[in-house]
A and B are shown apart, each in its own frame.
Chain A
Amino acid sequence: MEKLLNDFSVGLFFWQMIVFLVLLFLLKKYAWTAILVSVKAREDKIKEGLEAADKAKEMMRQMKEDNEELLAKARLEREGIIKAAREAKDKMISDAKLKASEEADKVIKSAQEAIKAEKNAAMNEIKTHVAELSISIAEKILKKELAADGKQNELIEAAMNESKLN
Chain B
Amino acid sequence: MLVKRLFSILVLTFLLSPLCVNASGDSSAQSEPNVKTEIKEYIGHHLQDSYDFTIWHEYGIGFPLPIILVDEGFHLFMSSKFHHGEAVAESNGKYYKIFHGKIYRTDAEGTIEMDEATHHPSNVKPLDFSITKNVFSIILISILIFWLFRNFAKSYQHSMIPNKKGRLLEPLVVFIRDDIAIPNIGKKSYGQYMPYLLTVFFFIWFLNLAGMTPLGIGVTNNIAVTFGLALITFIITQFTAKKSYWAHIFWMPGVPTPMKVILAPIELLGVFVKPFALMIRLYANMTAGHVVIMSIIGLLYVFNNWFATGAFLGLTLFLSVLELLVAFLQAYIFTMLTALYFGAAAAEHDDHH
Question: Do B145 and A38 touch across chains, with their CB atoms under 8 A apart?
Answer: no
Q: Does B127 contact A (CB under 8 A)?
A: yes
In chain A between 34 and 49, which residues have their CB closer than 8 angstroms to a CB of chain B?
Answer: 34-36, 38-39, 41-42, 45
Whether the Cβ atoms of B228 and A27 lie closer than 8 Å is: no
From A8, A23, A35, A42, contact of B153 by CB (8 A):
A35
The answer to whether B198 has its CB under 8 Å from any CB of chain A is yes
- What residues of A have a CB within 8 angstroms of the CB of B127 in the complex? 10-11
Majority secondary structure, A binding face: helix
A6, A34, A45: the one contacting B160 at CB < 8 Å is A45
Contact B195 A34 (CB under 8 A): no
Residues of A within 8 A of B187 (CB): none
A contacts with B, residue count (CB < 8 A): 34
Contact B195 A27 (CB under 8 A): yes
B142 within 8 A of A: yes
Contact indicator A7/B223 (Cβ below 8 Å): yes
Interface presence of A12 (CB below 8 A): yes
User: When the two chains form their complex, are residues A15 and B153 in contact, meaning their CB atoms are under 8 A apart?
Assistant: no
Residue of B nearest to A38 (CB): B156
B195 touches A16 (CB 8 A): no
Q: Is B196 an interface residue (CB 8 A)?
A: yes
Known: A16-B228, A23-B199. A30 touches B160 (CB 8 A): no
Known: A13-B228, A27-B146, A32-B198. A8 touches B223 (CB 8 A): yes
B297 within 8 A of A: no
CB of B97 within 8 Å of the partner chain = no
Query: Which residues of chain A are near B150, meaning CB under 8 Å?
Result: 30-31
Interface string of B120-153 (1 = CB under 8 A from A): 1000000111111011001100100110011011
A36 touches B177 (CB 8 A): yes
Nearest A residue (CB) for B138: A19
Say yes or no for B173: interface residue by CB 8 A criterion.
yes
Determine whether the beta carbon of A27 is less than 8 Å from that of B224.
no
Given A34-B156, A38-B160, A9–B132 Cβ distance below 8 Å? Answer: yes
In the complex, which residues 127-149 of chain A have their Cβ closer than 8 Å to any Cβ of chain B? Answer: none
Does B228 contact A31, Cβ atoms closer than 8 Å? no
Residue of chain A at shortest CB distance from B149 = A31
Given the interface pairs A15-B138, A36-B173, A36-B177, the reply to whether A23 lies near B145 with Cβ below 8 Å is yes
Q: Are B170 and A39 in contact (CB under 8 A)?
A: yes
What chain B residues lie within 8 Å of A14 (beta carbons)? 129
A86 to B223, CA, bound (A): 101
Q: Is A92 an interface residue (CB 8 A)?
A: no
Q: Is there a chain B Cβ closer than 8 Å to A115's Cβ?
A: no
Q: Scoring B residues 147 to 167 as 1 if CB is less than 8 Å from chain A, else 0, what string do you get?
A: 001101110100011100000
Chain A residues whose C-beta falls within 8 Å of the C-beta of B195 in the assembled complex: 24, 27-28, 32-33
Residue A156 CB within 8 A of the other chain: no
Residues in B whose Cβ lies below 8 Å from that of A15: 129, 131, 135, 138-139
Q: Is A31 a contact partner of B146 (Cβ separation < 8 A)?
A: yes
Whether A26 is near chain B, meaning CB under 8 Å from some CB there, is: yes
Q: Which A-chain residue is minimally distant from B154 (CB atoms)?
A: A34
**Residue B11 lies at the interface, judged by CB distance under 8 Å to chain A:** no
Q: Which residues of the other chain, B, contact A22 by a CB distance below 8 angstroms?
A: 142
B203 part of interface (Cβ distance < 8 Å) = yes
Which residues 79-93 of A have a CB within 8 angstroms of B?
Answer: none
Q: Give A8 to B225 CA distance when docked, in angstroms.
A: 9
- Which of B138, B146, B173, B198 sits near A16, CB closer than 8 Å? B138
The listed residue (A12, A23, A30, A34) touching B225 by CB distance below 8 A is A12
- Decide if B322 is an interface residue (CB 8 Å cutoff): no
User: Is B222 close to A, CB under 8 A?
Assistant: yes
Q: How far is the CB of A140 from chain B (nearest CB, A)?
A: 141
Decide if B55 is an interface residue (CB 8 Å cutoff): no
Minimal beta-carbon separation of A60 from chain B (angstroms):
27
- Provide the bound-state CA to CA distance between A145 and B142, in Å: 175
* A17 cross-chain contacts in B, Cβ below 8 A: 228, 231-232
Please name all residues of chain A whose beta carbon is closer than 8 Å to the beta carbon of B68 when the two chains form the complex: 11
The residues of B that contact A35 with a CB separation of less than 8 Å are 149, 152-153, 156, 170, 173
A4 at the interface (CB under 8 A from B): yes
Tell me, in angstroms, the Cα distance from A31 to B136 when the chains sit together. 23
Residues of A within 8 A of B160 (CB): 38, 41-42, 45
Q: Are the C-beta atoms of A9 and B146 separated by less than 8 Å?
A: no
Question: Please, could you name 6 A-B residue pairs with CB atoms under 8 Å apart, sorted by A?
Answer: A21-B232, A23-B142, A35-B152, A35-B156, A38-B153, A38-B156
Query: Known pairs A9-B222, A11-B127, A42-B161. 18 more at Cβ < 8 A?
Result: A4-B223, A7-B222, A8-B224, A9-B224, A10-B128, A10-B224, A11-B129, A13-B225, A15-B129, A16-B224, A17-B231, A19-B139, A22-B142, A23-B203, A24-B196, A32-B198, A33-B195, A39-B177
A residues whose Cβ falls under 8 Å from a Cβ of B: 4, 6-17, 19-24, 26-28, 30-36, 38-39, 41-42, 45
